[in-house]
Amino acid sequence: DGGITQSPKYLFRKEGQNVTLSCEQNLNHDAMYWYRQDPGQGLRLIYYSQIVNDFQKGDIAEGYSVSREKKESFPLTVTSAQKNPTAFYLCASSISQGRNYGYTFGSGTRLTVV
Amino acid sequence: AQSVTQLGSHVSVSEGALVLLRCNYSSSVPPYLFWYVQYPNQGLQLLLKYTTGATLVKGINGFEAEFKKSETSFHLTKPSAHMSDAAEYFCAVSAETNAGKSTFGDGTTLTVKP
């Protein structure tokens, strides 16, 4: 079955450490997105990519970085510059840029600072 | 610019009663509108979408929503609530001119009482 796989499901980060969240899709979708979800809040856009080797900052990109070397993969790195990284991170994809007919989401990664 | 307001962060209904979750949007261009459902510790799942055409759209699990341009609304309804409908629901807006980016509301938690 086609879908989006996020790993790991749970991740613990020490202060000053960089961590990378994986997102892989086999839907042949062009566009991929990273959102952050905090309790009682909606989703906030971190980064998005419309094609391979290109990506743009979203509303809360500070302290995060991404790459898009393959169509299927869009990993997110949470750097030590992100001061409040504890949150639920969701990766999503849509069939093409501009024509958003709805996202397919992964099952999320819950990141906790210890 | 686009935004979404979901009226009521918590809604409680009895099993078998009507479900009504409210969503108002703001968009400077013709919007695409979506409702998603999220169960605890999971990603979001697309319930239904409005892009163009018929303003009453039907989705999965018996849900439907009506796009009312004059009221800038896209309320979600279901005639008869089931216990399995208990979840968090998100309304989202996008536009073809916005690179497929979606802006999400803060969510509404639906509780279904037996």
Name the band, by pLDDT with cuts 50, 70 and 90, for residue A100.
confident
Q: How many Å lie between the alpha carbon of A41 and the closest alpha carbon of chain B?
A: 5
**Is the model more confident about B52 or about A56?**
A56
Output the CA torsion A99→A6→A90→A110 (10° steps): 180
- Tell me the shortest Cα–Cα distance from B96 to chain A, in angstroms: 5
Residue B64 has pLDDT above 90, yes or no: yes
Nearest in space to A57 (alpha carbons), one of B101, B34, B94, B27: B101
3-state secondary structure of B82: coil
CA nearest to A58 within chain B: B101
pLDDT beyond 90 at B76: yes
Virtual torsion, Cα B87, B91, B64, B55, nearest 10 deg:
180
Cβ pair B49:A102 closer than 8 A: yes
**Residue A101 and residue B45: Cβ atoms within 8 Å?**
no
For residue B37, pLDDT beyond 90: yes
Cα(A80)–Cα(A101) distance, integer angstroms: 35
Q: Which residues, 6 or more positions from A81, have their beta carbon under 8 angstroms from its beta carbon?
A: A62, A63
pLDDT digits (tens, 9 = 90+) for A41-74: 789 999 999 999 999 999 999 999 999 999 999 9
Task: Indicate the pLDDT class of residue B109, thresholds 50, 70 and 90.
Answer: very high
**Contact: B100, A100; criterion CB under 8 Å:** yes
Q: What is the mean pLDDT of chain A?
A: 92
By DSSP bridging, strand B108-113 and strand B10-14 are parallel
Chain B contacts of A4, Cβ < 8 Å? Answer: 43
Q: Is B107 on the interface with A (CB under 8 A)?
A: yes
Nearest to A93 by CA among A26, A22, A16, A1: A26
Binary contact (B51, A101; C-beta < 8 A): yes
| Tokens representing residue A80 in the block | 């030590």
Question: Sorting pLDDT into bands at 50, 70 and 90, what band is B30?
Answer: confident
**In the prediction, which pLDDT does A98 show?**
64
